[in-house]
Chains A and B, each alone.
Chain A
Amino acid sequence: MPGVLAVFVMLAISVAAVLALAVRSDAGVSTALLRERWFWHVLQFSLWQALLSAVLSLVIALPLARALALDPHLRGRAWFLRLCLLCFVMPSLVLITGLVTLFGRSGWITPLLGEGWQLYGLPGILIAHVYLNAPFAIRVLSHRWQSIPVDAWKISAQLGLSGWQRFWLVEWPVLRTALPGVFGFVFLLCFNSFAVVLALGGGPRATTLEVAIYQALKFDFNPPEALFLACMQLVVAGGLFALFSRWGGLQWLVAARAGDAWRPHVGSLAKWCGRALYVAVALFLLMPIVSLLPVAALAGGALPWSEIARASAMSIGFALAAALLAVLLALAALSLWRHFDDALRRRLIEAAALHHLVIPGMVLSVGLYVFLMAWVNWLDWGWIAIVLLNALIALPFVFVQLKPSMFEYDAQYRQLLADLGLQGWRHWRLVLGPFLEPALRRVLAIAFVLALGDFAVFGIFGNPSWHTLPWMIHALAGSYRLDEAAAASLLLLALALGALCLLERERA
């Protein structure tokens, strides 16, 4: 049964990675850090900045997602939603450069911010995290808003509900199911970030647990400490995430109907606020990229093009394979998930698919590397690990977004299917596949973009004959070729954008 196999793979790799590190660390998990004041400070700071970042991201995402869903006159909506995914491939160097160009000492926006403006510190972290995560929230939430059935809008209009009444009675119930999950996701992403936090946070006061894990595993190669930190992260961040997700849930709305795009009238104040926000956020997301253009245009000629072309092909190959695998794993896990009716078993499957969001990629990679080292020559077979681990890292994003579709499908068709006795491949080809297609395209896009930007996994399993683009950007930036690195980063973003266009093209 593919479902059982998929869940087994998801869990086995994490367990193997943790075991391998635990065995290597003889003494087991080291808890010495618990007695250090520094550790508690870091934990507190990690939580605090993640909470603030998540709240701020949602405060921006909510009105904008609503405008995107309800205002039919917004131009360039499809491009904007693609732009929203690009932040997942943006190398941290590019993001830092871009934000410094905007908000730094001689930044474009700095004169508007008054005398006392100081980017480095909490402002820098929050700006970067909103940049990285609000777009994700916008995408997911605007999709939720769009999923509100036309009939609900029509009835609310017939009943003459006021804007607020409609919001509470029609929109809020739909949002309520998705909001805690999105909040939890953004919270975890912010909790786990570090290169940006360190650079824009103004120094080690602004350190997250992830830095400590990186240090423990990379600089000190101290598996006990790394394991301890990873466990703390799993317990604290994972616990909070589980808590958030419990407030959310699934709700079946009504049969989806194609073609009918009736949208309610939105008050003109709300409409214009939405449009202003749309323009502002689009500019905010575009400007760091635009600020690279002059530099990149000059450096473009100096790029080692044949190497870049090879690296791009490799990146696309790895990312496609990882994205497809992530989607297959999620589908398999969901096929198992829908078999069970009890909450406990469903939650266990969810945990198997989602826990990769909390386990640091570095722990997973190094652990797996060590675990299979004696039997596998990673120089030759590392590409399997690159594809597999990138698939697992993308899996939570894929799983949470496919789950509602699967749920709706069952709510709508389960009875009917039981009557028809449709099973296996025919069921997939005739009914389930077409039903899920739009959702599949969406999650394939996000998984592809996530894997395209991978640097950490490749750093462990990579081999010089399969250089990827992010890896080349890192090498360029590390040897004074910062302008060329910017040019290559633009190329990476362009590749991602091209892939997104292809994925979203055939919308029949």
Chain B
Amino acid sequence: MNIRHSLACAAFALAAGQASAAAADLTVYTYESFISSWGPGPELKTRFEAQCGCTLEFVGVEDGVALLNRVRLEGANTRADVIVGLDDSLIKDVRTHGLVQPHSVDFASIPMVAALAWADDSFVPFDFGYFAFIYDHQKIGAPVDSLAALIDGNARVIYQDPRTSTPGLGLLHWVRAVYGDEAPAAWTRLARHTVTVTSGWSEAYNMFLQGEADYVLSYTTSPAYHIVSDGTDRYRAAHFAEGHVAQVEVAALSAHTDNPALANRFLAFLLSREAQEIIPVTNWMLPVRDDVKLPEAFDRLIRPARIGFSADEIGASRSIWVREWREAVSR
């Protein structure tokens, strides 16, 4: 152990710091897995840079919630021109804090998926997914066909903690949408056959793959990943009669961008057919356009009816729902 090591290391970190200091024309804040080599980021960057003759820089944080916190913390100091990867449950917070500004995208000129019914003047959806419980078709021949059947049955269930994970928050929304004020009683019934509640999606999903549970909370698109990447269709999403709640991932213009024209151009690009064909097979969510060609695996996914509350309603009730859940399942 000697000093040389530490010097080399400091020089190395310094070089890295300087590399990023060369400012790009457009800085996009997003979450980590969006810009990983297997995510949509690198491909989108190449295509957009070719179109605009500009440079684009991604800054990745842990996840959507961390993204909101980052721009909230940075306020007017932020370097973000565009924010990509918030979800609809966070929209209200973003709006309240004045972190975004209206965009110039005209949804009427784009064949948007009807179920989204999107008309927001600040947020542009770029993909979405329905929450769903995934099961192993080789183990369960007759899966539950409704949320009520899941909750009142005795199948082993794993889901994520709504205090730390967005799918967990989605289930909170779902149970509330189906049960209304009866939600606490439903949570108590579910708790009787819940194996565990994990802090993140990956722990829950991995435990399910290890055979710890019959059902795990994920997305209707999860089976597509297994078909395309693992070549197996044993994992399927249970189709619930009450309908499913959706998670819509959105992008927006930072309120503090100094290049709104280019930022708007990037938002329009996210909605282009080109980008919409890349996102589903890299981010494993559904496209927001109707006219996108996708691998055959996507045709085999269930197509549930969409239920649930508006983004503003979710934002307003989130903390009450969390408390309600906490009380019901801790009993």
Contact = CB atoms under 8 A, between A and B. Distances in A.
Interface stretch (B59-67, B102-110, B112-120): B59-67
Interface of B is mostly: helix
Interface in B54-76: 58-63, 65-66, 68-69, 72-74
- Interface size, A (range): 35 or more
Interface residues of B, number: 70
Contact of A203 (B17, B69, B194, B222): B194
Interface stretch (A5-13, A261-269, A457-465): A457-465
A324 interface: yes
A304 interface: yes
Interface in A368-410: 369-370, 373-374, 377, 379-381, 383, 387
Name the residue among A317, A366, A472 with the largest chain B CB count within 10 angstroms.
A317
A294 B154 CA distance: 33
A195 B37 contact: no
Contacts of A195: 198-200, 203
Interface stretch (A75-83, A97-105, A131-139): A97-105
Given A218-B164, A464-B58, A93 B203 contact: yes
Given A104-B211, A464-B35, A374 B77 contact: yes
A320 B7 CA distance: 10
Contacts of B297: none
Interface string A477-501: 1111110010000000000000000
B9 interface: yes
A201 B20 contact: no
Contact of A194 (B12, B196, B199): B199
B220 to A, nearest CB: 14
A370 B36 CA distance: 27
B229 A479 contact: no
Contacts of B50: none
B195 A459 contact: no
Contact of B38 (A38, A204, A220, A304): A304
Given A373-B77, A464-B58, A480-B284, A321 B38 contact: no
Given A195-B199, A203-B197, A380-B21, A475 B36 contact: yes
A128 to B, nearest CB: 12
Given A317-B13, A475-B32, A503-B1, A104 B73 contact: no
B196 A97 contact: no
Contact of B199 (A106, A211, A320): A211
The A interface, classified by DSSP as helix, strand, loop or mixed, is helix
B294 interface: no
Contacts of A474: 32, 62, 202
Contacts of B59: 379, 463-464
Contacts of A104: 207, 210-212
A463 B203 contact: no
Given A204-B329, A321-B9, A478-B201, A463 B20 contact: yes
Interface in A85-113: 92-93, 96-97, 100-101, 104-106
Given A198-B199, A304-B38, A317 B207 contact: no
B198 A199 contact: yes
A425 interface: no
B210 A100 contact: yes
19 contacts: A96-B203, A100-B210, A100-B212, A198-B196, A198-B199, A199-B203, A202-B195, A203-B197, A218-B65, A304-B37, A307-B37, A380-B18, A383-B14, A440-B1, A464-B60, A472-B36, A477-B202, A478-B33, A481-B38
Given A204-B161, A214-B199, A218-B164, 14 more contacts: A92-B203, A106-B211, A194-B199, A195-B198, A199-B196, A219-B65, A318-B9, A320-B6, A324-B5, A459-B66, A474-B62, A478-B32, A480-B222, A480-B229
